[in-house]
């Protein structure tokens, strides 16, 4: 009896139909994957930035930090051809603004100015809602701002040596104001107390402006702050300038000696204002910001304005700023231990 014929390879039966379906599905999948790849490439190649930037500032409007941040933000807006919107978020020993930066989308469209307490907080505050090193991308340190020590005219001292001698003769009688704990104004005088062996009472304020106003009115007796907010009062006779805190004189007050020049060798405190972004921002965004911000800060016209604010322009690279942050954590950790600050 003749046997039924079996389908031969390459025939037109069900196998052929299955192969056709598989080929069709494979083509669709390839098209989808190809489109996805092209879309990813297009996103990677998209120019940065694609929209307005948000610039977080950890202090109230009108402070030296705020003024300098706005000067640079305005120039950055012009360079990027996108708005750069300054958003002041003071409070919480700078933790509020710092956490906003850490938690922002890592797309390069949120940056912020942080200052010296950023590297002090880990040593004096428990359970910070972010990791000081891991959760941020250092972009550039804009400036270093030496502090200026001033006293009310009722304090009979015109030099640092006279002030130290007067404080030693009246332990606990003098007081000083500072815009909250861990600011350079606070740590600078705490360091003075340790190195000079004096007892001066600390009165905390919610910002630099109220402390300066109280000193001008005679309600407190001394403080350390940036020169711009102090010099109008000094020139008007409402305050007396004693010394600057950094190792070299401030460009805004070239005639006022440093603490070291005034007899307290090795004394060197200052505040820095640096730009940070969230961790893991795109390389293109970091490259652009890391080129534009240093260029802006180093521009001679803006550098003159920064010097007038008592600030020393820096404008370093992201890698240099990251190394600076690691060194600062070691330096200020030592200072925190020296002045007896403890985590709370």
The answer to whether residues 138 and 158 belong to one domain is no
- Is residue 138 located within the same domain as residue 63? yes
Maximum Cα interatomic distance, the chain, rounded to a whole number of Å = 130
Are 87 and 129 within one domain? yes
Q: Is residue 15 part of a domain?
A: no
Same domain, 139 and 277: yes
Separation between Cα atoms, residue 203 and residue 201, nearest integer Å = 7
- Is there a single domain that holds both residue 231 and residue 282? no
Which of 244, 261, 291 lies at the terminal end of a domain, its last residue? 244
Residue 49: asked if its preceding bond is cis (omega within 30°), the reply is yes
Are 174 and 204 in a shared domain? yes
Do 119 and 78 lie in a common domain? yes
Residue 39 within any structural domain of the chain: no
Q: What is the pLDDT of residue 36?
A: 41
Is residue 177 domain-shared with residue 319, that is, in the same domain? no
Structurally, the chain folds into a number of domains equal to: 2
pLDDT value of residue 226: 86
Residue 223 token pair? 């403080």
319 in the same domain as 173: no
**pLDDT < 70 regions, the chain:** 1-46, 342-344
Pick from 170, 166, 168: which is nearest to 155 by CA?
A: 166
Q: Are strands 110-115 and 270-278 parallel, antiparallel or unpaired?
A: antiparallel
Backbone angles phi, psi at 201, to 5 degrees: -80, 140
Integer Cα distance of 327 and 203 in angstroms: 29
pLDDT given for residue 61 in this prediction:
86
Q: How far apart are CA 57 and CA 209, in angstroms?
A: 16
The two tokens of residue 70 are 């706005």
The H or E element containing residue 151 is strand 148-151
Query: Please, are residues 289 and 277 in contact by the beta-carbon 8 Å criterion?
Result: yes
DSSP state of 7: P
Tell me the C-alpha to C-alpha distance, in Å, between residue 267 and each of 115, 166, 199, 244: 20, 20, 18, 10
Query: Within this chain, do residues 137 and 274 fall inside the same structural domain, yes or no?
Result: yes
Query: Are both 89 and 230 inside the same structural domain?
Result: no
| Residue 180, in any domain of the structure | yes
Please check whether residue 172 lies inside any domain of the structure. Answer: yes
Helix (H), strand (E) at residue 73: helix 64-80
Is residue 114 in a domain?
yes
pLDDT at 81: 97
Query: Cis omega before residue 230 (within 30°)?
Result: no
CATH number of the domain residue 237 falls in: 3.40.190.10
Residues 70 and 130 in one domain: yes
Q: Please identify, among 197, 228, 244, the residue that sits at the C-terminal boundary of a domain.
A: 244
In this structure, what CATH number is given to the domain that contains residue 58?
Answer: 3.40.190.150
User: Quick check: is 36 in a domain?
Assistant: no
Tell whether 286 is covered by a domain. yes
In a domain, 293, yes or no: yes
Last residue of a domain, one of 244, 262, 280: 244
- Domain containing 182: what range? 148-244
């Amino acid at each position: 009896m003749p046997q039924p014929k079996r389908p031969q390879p390459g025939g037109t039966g069900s196998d052929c139909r299955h192969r056709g379906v598989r080929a069709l599905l494979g083509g669709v999948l390839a098209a989808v994957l190809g489109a996805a790849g092209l879309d990813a490439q297009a996103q990677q190649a998209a120019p940065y930035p694609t929209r307005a930037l948000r610039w977080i500032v950890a202090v109230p409007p009108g402070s030296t930090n705020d003024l300098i941040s706005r000067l640079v933000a305005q120039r950055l807006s012009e360079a990027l051809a996108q708005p750069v919107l300054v958003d002041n978020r003071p409070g919480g020993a700078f933790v509020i603004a710092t956490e906003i930066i850490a938690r922002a989308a890592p797309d390069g469209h949120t940056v912020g100015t942080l200052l010296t307490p950023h590297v002090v907080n880990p040593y004096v505050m428990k359970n910070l809602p972010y990791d000081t090193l891991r959760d941020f991308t250092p972009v550039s340190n804009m400036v270093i701002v030496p502090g200026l020590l001033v006293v009310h005219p009722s304090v009979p001292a015109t030099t640092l040596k006279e002030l130290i001698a007067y404080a030693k003769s009246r332990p606990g009688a003098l007081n000083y104001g500072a815009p909250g704990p861990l600011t350079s104004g606070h740590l600078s005088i705490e360091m003075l107390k340790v190195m000079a062996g004096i007892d001066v009472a600390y009165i905390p304020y919610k910002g630099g402006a109220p402390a300066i106003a109280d000193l001008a009115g005679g309600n407190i007796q001394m403080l350390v702050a940036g020169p711009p907010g102090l010099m109008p009062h000094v020139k008007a006779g409402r305050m007396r300038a004693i010394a600057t805190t950094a190792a070299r004189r401030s460009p805004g007050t070239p005639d006022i000696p440093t603490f070291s020049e005034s007899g307290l060798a090795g004394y060197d405190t200052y505040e820095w204002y640096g730009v940070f972004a969230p961790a893991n921002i795109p390389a293109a965004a970091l490259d652009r910001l890391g080129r534009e911000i240093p260029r802006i800060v180093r521009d001679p016209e803006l550098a003159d304005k920064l010097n007038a604010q008592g600030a020393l322009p820096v404008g370093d690279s992201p890698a240099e700023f990251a190394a600076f942050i690691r060194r600062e954590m070691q330096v200020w950790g030592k200072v925190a231990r020296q002045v007896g600050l403890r985590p709370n």
